């Protein structure tokens, strides 16, 4: 198999090869196919800390992940850090070349707050940071690849963390000030903005933020502030940029499916959905706004029983409810997996009290036969279908951007048949939801390439491209799934029986 590296001469050779050896095996010729809707867009996602590296280069200051991984050596297994990651700060041109090889319509990446604003505030804009993102965006536009930008993807400035981070009520202003700078710098070319990625993970399970110590209090303060931060950034765009820039702004929420263990567990499954994602979706996408009623009542009741003078869940003022309600032009949805939910007597004393899990009061698990052999990833695509159907029914069929979906392998290698099979099955489930009326506009795979996967470091591999971390060169090599994805983009058809011919080099086509 031919491999592509950053070398220009080789790339040119490959281009010629591509032109003469385009195999007929690549042409779709099966009856078991489904067409994607006209205008449907395909892309791939990454985030700054997970791929850029260059953590202390050219004026960038420290974020919470830089801090925690340095302060506690071997904080993660394998002692991984994002110091170098996939080295995309230096290899962005190769990244864009990969986008061309795949034929992506768009690429979703994130801006590092501390690369743009080293003080955390707009008093000083870091020229080198600005240049990096300008170069990346312009390189993509040169090839008609649409940039889609996440403003916050897990990497809060450490200086802000030291004064409470997402629990400090001022954080919504700090964030919207940062958002304004990004709109100003890049909004002439960037028309799709994601304010925050996965607020639930930010508030409830980010290893670097340390909120775990005060669960049941800090995570709810964070939830309120994250929602206000999003609402204010949306307002900034509306008031100052929408008329001239004419783009879209939304948020990205991770949405798992929780299947009731038995018919009797429907209530438990509903509760976990309300706590895990309803707390972020309901305030923005429901007609009434605010946190879900059931969540408010549950936490108020428990707080009173526990001797708190008021609910541990903070209130939104009526003005705040209105700021957040409807503050999205689309619903950014990340989906990976499905698990089972139930509750019985064994739950008594299972969770610390007070805590988020004690408030939720549900047990979840993933059956072994749903798990893949190479990671904890599940292959349960009907869960994706059910999530999409529920969002359509419960929230008035909002326009949906699938901002992440993908398969984790802890084995790696180029022949990723399980990833390909996962993608076929999940794309199929998405097409089923579309055919029943879900307004899904685009699909973005996680991820373009292997990267630093937070708590599991480099052990978890999600890439269409494998990254070589040991050669010192970070070469990106297309996996079998890259060939598959490329074919989907080329044909705009899902062919369940498609088998890539990997003897033909993957390369951009003209």
Binding residues for ligand NAG (CB under 6 A): 372, 379, 381, 418, 421, 425, 468, 470-471
**Strand extents, DSSP E, 397-488:** 400-404, 440-446, 465-467, 476-478
- Closest to ligand NAG by CB, 169 vs 367, is 367
Most distant CA pair in the chain: distance in Å?
76
Are residues 36 and 492 in contact, defined by beta-carbon separation less than 8 angstroms?
yes
Least separation in angstroms between CB 505 and ligand NAG:
16
> What is the nearest approach in angstroms of ligand NAG to the Cβ of residue 390?
20
For 45, phi and psi rounded to 5 degrees? Answer: -120, 150
Q: How far is the CB of 62 from ligand NAG (least distance, A)?
A: 30
Nearer to ligand NAG, 215 or 381 (CB): 381
Q: How far is the CB of 432 from ligand NAG (least distance, A)?
A: 12
Tokens of 337: 């997996």
Least distance between ligand NAG and beta carbon 378 (Å): 9
With CB atoms as reference, the residue minimizing the distance to ligand NAG is 471
- In the complex with ligand NAG, the residue whose CB is nearer, 225 or 372, is 372
Q: What is the C-alpha to C-alpha distance for residues 130 and 433, in angstroms, rounded to an integer?
A: 40
* Nearest to ligand NAG of 74, 496 (CB atom): 496
Q: Tokens standing for 418?
A: 């399980």
The first and second tokens of residue 174, run together, are 């700090």
Nearest to 430 by CA among 393, 489, 387: 387
- Closer Cβ to ligand NAG, 283 or 383, answer by number: 383
Shortest distance, CB of residue 493 to ligand NAG, whole angstroms?
18
CB count within 10 Å of CB 165 equals 24
Sign of CA dihedral 157, 163, 165, 166: negative
Distance CA 301, CA 296 (A): 9
Annotation says 404 is catalytic:
yes
> Within its chain, how far is the Cα of 489 from the centroid?
21
447 cis-preceded (ω within 30 degrees of 0): yes
Q: Which of 52, 97, 101, 198 is catalytic?
A: 198
Compute the distance between CA of residue 249 and CA of residue 149 in angstroms, rounded to an integer: 10
Whether residue 122 contacts residue 177, with contact meaning beta carbons closer than 8 Å, is answered with yes
Which helix (H) or strand (E) is 342 found in, with range?
A: strand 338-342
CA distances from residue 260 to 33, 35, 500 in whole angstroms, order as listed: 32, 32, 38
Both tokens of 281, joined, read: 């979706």
Q: 177: which DSSP letter?
A: H
Question: Given 52, 265, 404, 508, which residue is catalytic?
Answer: 404
CA–CA distance from 265 to each of 121, 302, 409 (Å)? Answer: 47, 21, 31
* 198 is annotated as an active-site residue: yes
* Structural element, H or E, at residue 155: none
In angstroms, what is the minimal distance from the CB of 468 to ligand NAG? 4
Nearer to ligand NAG by Cβ, of 346 and 471: the residue is 471
Is 389 or 421 the residue whose CB approaches ligand NAG more closely? 421
User: Which residues are known to be catalytic?
Assistant: 198, 404
């Amino acid at each position: 198999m031919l491999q592509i590296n950053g070398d220009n001469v080789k790339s040119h050779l490959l281009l010629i090869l591509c032109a003469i050896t385009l195999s007929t095996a690549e042409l779709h010729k099966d009856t078991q196919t489904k067409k994607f809707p006209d205008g449907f867009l395909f892309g791939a996602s990454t985030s700054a800390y997970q791929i850029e590296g260059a953590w202390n280069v050219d004026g960038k200051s420290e974020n919470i992940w830089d801090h925690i991984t340095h302060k506690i050596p071997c904080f993660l297994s394998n002692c991984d850090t994002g110091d170098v990651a996939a080295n995309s700060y230096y290899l962005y041109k190769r990244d864009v070349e990969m986008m061309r090889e795949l034929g992506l319509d768009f690429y979703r990446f994130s801006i590092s707050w501390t690369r743009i604003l080293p003080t955390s505030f707009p008093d000083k804009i870091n020229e080198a940071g600005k240049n990096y993102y300008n170069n990346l965006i312009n390189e993509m536009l040169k090839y008609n690849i649409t940039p889609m930008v996440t403003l916050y993807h897990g990497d809060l400035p450490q200086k802000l963390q030291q004064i409470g981070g997402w629990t400090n009520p001022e954080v919504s202003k700090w964030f919207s000030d940062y958002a304004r700078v990004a709109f100003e710098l890049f909004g002439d070319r960037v028309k799709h903005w994601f304010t925050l990625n996965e607020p639930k993970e930010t508030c409830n399970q980010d290893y670097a933020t340390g909120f775990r110590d005060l669960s049941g209090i800090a995570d709810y303060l964070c939830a309120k502030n994250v929602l206000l931060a999003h609402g204010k950034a949306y307002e900034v765009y509306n008031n100052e940029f929408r008329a001239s820039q004419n783009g879209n702004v939304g948020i990205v929420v991770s949405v798992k499916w929780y299947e009731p263990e038995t018919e009797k567990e429907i209530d438990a499954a509903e509760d976990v959905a309300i706590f895990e994602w309803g707390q972020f979706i309901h305030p923005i996408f429901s007609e009434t706004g605010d946190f879900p009623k059931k969540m408010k009542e549950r936490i108020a009741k428990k707080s009173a029983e526990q001797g708190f003078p008021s609910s541990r869940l903070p209130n939104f003022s009526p003005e705040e409810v209105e700021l957040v309600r409807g503050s999205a032009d689309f619903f950014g949805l990340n989906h990976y997996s499905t698990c089972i939910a139930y509750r019985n007597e064994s739950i008594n004393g299972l969770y610390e009290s007070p805590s988020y899990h004690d408030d939720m009061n549900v047990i979840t698990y993933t059956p072994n036969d749903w798990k893949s052999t190479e990671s904890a990833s599940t292959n349960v695509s009907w869960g994706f279908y059910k999530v999409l159907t529920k969002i359509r029914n419960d929230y008035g069929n909002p326009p949906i951007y699938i901002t992440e979906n993908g398969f984790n392998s802890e084995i790696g290698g180029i022949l990723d048949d399980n990833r390909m099979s996962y993608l076929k099955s999940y794309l199929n489930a998405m097409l089923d939801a579309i055919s029943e009326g879900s307004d899904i506009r685009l699909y973005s795979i996680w991820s373009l390439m292997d990267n630093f996967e937070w708590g599991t470091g480099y052990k978890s591999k999600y890439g269409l491209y494998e990254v070589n971390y040991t050669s010192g060169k970070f070469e990106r090599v297309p996996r079998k799934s890259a060939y598959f994805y490329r074919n989907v983009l080329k044909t705009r058809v899902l062919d369940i029986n498609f088998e890539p011919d990997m003897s033909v080099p993957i390369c951009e086509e003209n």
